[in-house]
Amino acid sequence: MALPNGVYDLPIDVSLGDREMTLTPTAVETPRGLLLLDVGMPDGIDDLAGVLDGEGLDLDDTWAVVLTHQDIDHAGCLAAVVERTDAVVFAHEADAPYIEGEKELLKSSEERPMAIDPTSIDVRLTGGEAFATDAGPMEIIHTPGHTPGHVSCYFPEEELLITADALNAPEGELVGPREGATPEMETAWESVETIATHDIDHAVCFHGGYVEDGTERIEALLADR
């Protein structure tokens, strides 16, 4: 099993404080151009362009960004991407005020201040929207808990889920929401229950990358809670 044609996982190695980690945005080819699902850290636009180039893709061909949520490792260089590409920005309405700068990022604190350059959301999602892509329709699933407006992306024809942070795969196998990074854990697990109603054979996690796990594994996680 592998990612379908036109869908690319984009591993980017970064330093976040005293931690080294790999982030995994996703690029999707569409009839209108490149669709990015998240973009990475502040000052990360060159890293993003580099991993796209490694796949034979050009950041300048980006027509849209679907931001899965407000966190700095997902939205950090959004403003720079929009400035360079004039991309249309989609994000869930519950996270839009944070991305547009009306509210401080949910996980920012005095001990660990976080900020991104404010960026206008062109289209506010509510869940249930579908995008035409070269891999078939991509559906938006509202999966709150990690943030109020967190979304995941599902390709029904390929039985593929782009989990963002709703699920993770730190050791190459799907696991549930990260407790230390998820303010509303009960809501997050309810979102996992929503995900489990879909036919999934494989997934891309923002933290963990591509895994050949799906609905059966997700149901087992729910049963073992």
pLDDT at position 110: 67
pLDDT higher at 187 or 180: 187
Average pLDDT estimate for 74-97 = 98
Report yes or no: 197 and 190 within 8 Å, Cβ to Cβ: no
- High-pLDDT (> 70) share of the chain, %: 99
Tell me the pLDDT tens digit for each residue of 44-55. 999 999 999 999
Listed residue (10, 182, 207) closest to 192, CA to CA: 182
Strands (E), 24-129: 26-30, 33-37, 62-67, 88-92, 123-125
CATH class of 7-223: alpha beta
User: Is 18's pLDDT higher than 80?
Assistant: no
> Which pTM was predicted?
0.96
User: What interhelical angle do 78-85 and 45-54 show, nearest 10?
Assistant: 60
Cα distance between residue 186 and residue 200, in whole Å: 22
Report yes or no: 13 and 22 within 8 Å, Cβ to Cβ: yes
Specify the DSSP element, H or E, that contains 187. helix 185-195
Structure tokens given for 90: 């989609």
Average pLDDT estimate for 116-143 = 98
Average pLDDT estimate for 187-196 = 98
Report yes or no: 155 and 135 within 8 Å, Cβ to Cβ: yes
Average pLDDT, the chain: 96
Q: What is the largest CA-CA distance in the chain?
A: 46
